[in-house]
Chain A
Amino acid sequence: MTHALNLTLPIKQDQETLKKLQQLEAIFPTMVQPKIEEALRKSKLVHFARVLVIDNKYIQVLTEYEGSHQEYTEFFRRELTPVFAAIFGLADNMPDVNDPNGFFNFAKDHNLRALGNTTGNSTDLEGKPAGWLFSAYNHKTVEQILAALDKA
């Protein structure tokens, strides 16, 4: 079952934070994106991922991935600690990204539910039915898709 992570953080509006945001945007293509890409490619858990900034007011980390929310949070935290530190640092009440507990709670509190209803068994981090997530290939896993492509 593929799940969506719709992590949405309000960006602090002080000058220092907005400057950090500019710096993040500047280094993203060359320094941040490759690190995320390498980790996600090796994970074979994530279908798609992107990071968005909305009017300098919100930053979003949006991914479609599989496995339970709880199971691989620690993988992402450990593998991408500096990336999450930079992103979470733009928001209020930034957790210590070295603390799995704080990291999980922060992600849980900032994950937005999509509109609509899941057509499968997808749930949010509290086990409630998730919002709608369309899958053109019936929620096949990354492993299944890669294996099918290898055979093709």
Chain B
Amino acid sequence: MADIENIQALVVRSPVKPFISVLLFKLGDADAARQFLRGYAPKVPRGAAADIAGEAEYHLLFSWNGLAKLLRGHPTLDVEQGRRALEVFFTDSTQAPDSLAMARQLGFVGGSAPEGWWEGRFTSENIDLAVYACFDADRKAQALTELREAAARCGLQELTLASFDDGALAGVRPRDGRLHFGYRDGITTPDIDWSDSGRPGSVDLREILLGYPNSDYPTSPQRPGPWQDFARDGSHVALAWIHQDVATFNKFLVDESTKAPPSVPRELAQEWVAAKMLGRWRDGSPLAKFPDAPPVPPKLDNDFGYADDATGMKCPITSHMRVANGRDQALKFANQVRFPRGTPRLIRRGFSYGSPLAGAVEDGVDRGLVGLFCFARVNEQFYTVMRWLQKTDFSDTFKSIPDGLNAQDGLFGNRAFPGANAEYHVALSDGSAVNFQLRDFIRYKGVAVFLAPSMTALSVLSADF
């Protein structure tokens, strides 16, 4: 059973404050950095803590480099032992998202290649600490100033981004929940069994939390000891800065809407294309339950599967939702062995940035989303889902469509991925099919993997030794 009060609230529940910034820092002197943490760790909400109006909310995320700087010389947490005990895909820079070994297989090629990340101003390896901060409107400017002043006093060097007014990744939680492509977000959230009761329909806490390894979820560190104690109730968090090309997406909807079958009313044709790409109508109703038209009012249903839709007549098998979370769709044998409890799950905590596109023509404004994904195993969860977005060879289901083992997620696939099949197969109810010609709709501008330590571990990191 996890101690929910020991988990940073970001992992347990979605913050509700409308304004969000993620500030990236390189630590200087470790003693001074600990002083900064002593000031801000108490401001991190715990577990399912309710929002407090008017008070800014902070969450602290550390890269391996950050942890190593803070713990070097620690009497019980030997850094070299930690490097081996924690997951190699977190501690070894040769296995990081921007590494030679990983970048290509995760789809970070072409316009998403790491060479262009973080505006070319720094690399993911330079980031020691990310501060995820949420604000009410009237508190943001002052809270950001206070945070930066405290950081500067404690020798933290901020890694700034010129394309944001704030100098840091910053955006909003849209009031209606709709992101730049017009989809309502945040409907599918894993129901985590924090009490480890085996509650039917829930997701095992080991999908998200470190420190409770078993044979189904062999999370790192595996061995009992100080590093496993340190990691317990912590979660890995991947930060992904994702540009959305709204003009291209909108033009795609127009162009492909001509392929909608006669049964789709003409005024609904673009919405039909959009729904086929995601797996939900843009108002949130799932195609699996409402394949022909969105219900009025929308039904944000999450209780469905794909077992009765093997060929994707209702929900295309390469739609984003179905690739990222196949629900009851069978994995191929090797993946059934890897994931005995089912498809890997991630908790999403993202926000939207940039002004909405006005009109149909690209205006040169950077807009998109900043995704934060919580999970316990970097390679088996985050990296795996990223690979699946680029190449849908993880289930025999994809053999049912032409060149399906080289198909891609409709929205998040990178068409520059070697061997990518850029045809998007949409099966129709009469047994025929149409193909959309896929384009690049998103581009990665920076990705890094962190640990969101438990509250106990934050105390360890904050304390002098």
Chain A interface residues (CB < 8 Å from chain B): 42-45, 68-72, 74-75, 78-79, 96, 98-102, 104-105, 121, 123-128, 141, 143
Q: Are A127 and B102 touching (Cβ within 8 A)?
A: yes
- In the assembled complex, the Cα of A45 lies from the Cα of B99 at a distance in Å of 24
Select one of A45, A70, A141 contacting B101, CB under 8 A: A70
Contact, CB under 8 Å: A127 / B337: no
Whether A127 touches B84, Cβ cut-off 8 Å, given contacts A74-B338, A75-B337, A100-B218, is no
Task: Report B98-126 CB contacts with A as 1/0, cut-off 8 Å.
Answer: 01111111000000000000000000000
**Interface residues, chain B, CB within 8 Å of chain A?**
84-89, 94-95, 99-105, 215, 218, 220-223, 332-335, 337-338, 377, 379-380, 383-384, 387, 393, 399, 405, 418
The answer for the CA separation of A71 and B379 in the assembled complex, in Å, is: 8
Do residues A101 and B334 form an inter-chain contact, with CB atoms below 8 A? no
Partner of A70, one of B215, B334, B379: B379
Residues of A within 8 A of B332 (CB): 44
- Show 25 residue pairs from A and B whose CB-CB distance is below 8 angstroms, ordered by the A residue: A43-B333, A44-B332, A45-B334, A68-B105, A68-B387, A69-B101, A71-B105, A71-B383, A74-B379, A96-B222, A99-B218, A99-B220, A100-B380, A101-B84, A101-B220, A101-B221, A101-B222, A104-B88, A123-B101, A126-B94, A126-B99, A127-B94, A127-B103, A127-B104, A128-B100
**Most chain B C-beta atoms within 10 Å of own C-beta, residue among A72, A75, A125:** A75
Q: B397 to chain A: closest CB distance in Å?
A: 13
Q: How far is the CA of A100 from the CA of B418 in the complex (A)?
A: 28
Q: Are B405 and A143 in contact, with the CB atoms below 8 A?
A: yes
Write out the residue numbers on chain B whose beta carbons fall within 8 Å of the beta carbon of A45. 334
Q: What's the least CB distance linking A9 to chain B, in Å? A: 19
**CB <8 Å contact, B333 and A98:** no
Expressed in whole angstroms, the Cα–Cα distance for A42 and B379 within the complex equals 22
B335 A75 Cβ-Cβ under 8 A: yes
- Cα A42 to Cα B331 with chains together (Å): 13
Closest Cβ of chain A to B225, distance in Å, is 13
Closest partner residue, chain A, to B380 (CB atom)? A74
In the complex, the chain B residue whose C-beta lies closest to that of A141 is B405
- Beta-carbon contact of B84 and A75 below 8 Å: no
With a cutoff of 8 Å between Cβ atoms, the chain A residues found around residue B94 in the complex are 126-127
Using Cβ atoms and an 8 Å threshold, which residues of chain A touch B99?
A: 126-127
Residues of A contacting B384 with CB < 8 Å?
71
Shortest distance in angstroms between B465's beta carbon and chain A's nearest beta carbon? 26
Report the nearest A residue to B219, measured CB to CB.
A100
CA distance A23 to B242 in the complex (A): 55
Given contacts A70-B102, A101-B220, 4 further A-B contacts (CB under 8 A): A68-B105, A70-B95, A101-B85, A123-B101
List of A residues within 8 angstroms of B105 by Cβ: 68, 70-71
**B residues near A43, Cβ cutoff 8 Å:** 333-334
CA distance in complex: A123, B223 (Å)? 31
- Which residues of chain A have C-beta atoms less than 8 A from B87's C-beta? 100-101
CB distance from A121 to the nearest CB of B (A): 7
Please determine whether A105 and B102 come into contact, CB atoms closer than 8 angstroms: no
- Alpha-carbon separation in the docked complex, A124 to B380 (Å): 19
Point out the residues of chain B lying under 8 angstroms from A128, CB to CB: 100
Shortest Cβ distance from A39 into B: residue? B337
Which A residues are CB-close (under 8 A) to B377? 100
Least distance between B107 CB and chain A CB atoms (Å): 12
Cβ-defined contact, A98 with B338, below 8 A: no
Contact B334 A75 (CB under 8 A): yes
Contact indicator B220/A100 (Cβ below 8 Å): yes
Complex Cα gap A100–B88 (Å): 9
Query: How far, in angstroms, from A54 to B337 measured CA to CA in the complex?
Result: 32
Contact A105 B101 (CB under 8 A): no
How distant is the Cα of A72 from the Cα of B331 in the complex, in angstroms? 13
Are A42 and B333 in contact (CB-based, < 8 A)?
Answer: yes
CA distance A78 to B86 in the complex (A): 19
Residues of B within 8 A of A72 (CB): 334, 338
Q: Are A126 and B100 in contact (CB under 8 A)?
A: yes
Select A121's contact among B84, B95, B380, B418, beta carbons within 8 Å.
B418
Pairs of residues from A and B, 5 with the lowest C-beta to C-beta distance, nearest first: A127-B100, A127-B101, A99-B222, A75-B334, A68-B105
Q: Which residues of A contact B102 (CB under 8 A)?
A: 70, 127
CA of A121 to CA of B87 in the docked complex: distance in angstroms?
26
Q: How far is the CA of A147 from the CA of B14 in the complex (A)?
A: 46
Say whether A71 contacts B387, CB under 8 Å.
yes
Question: What distance in Å separates the Cβ of B382 from its nearest Cβ neighbour in chain A?
Answer: 12
**Contacts A45-B334, A98-B215, A126-B101; A70 near B84 (Cβ below 8 A):** no
Cβ-closest chain A residue relative to B335: A75
A125 interface neighbour in B85, B101, B103, B379, Cβ under 8 Å: B101
A28 to chain B, nearest CB (A): 22
Pair B334/A105 contact, Cβ less than 8 Å: no
Complex contacts, A125 vs chain B, CB 8 Å: 101
The distance from the CB of A129 to the nearest CB of chain B, in whole angstroms, is: 9
CB proximity of B214 to chain A, nearest CB, Å: 10
How far apart sit A126 and B101, CA to CA, in the bound complex (Å)?
5
- When distances are taken between beta carbons in the complex, the residues of chain A under 8 Å from B337 are 75, 78-79
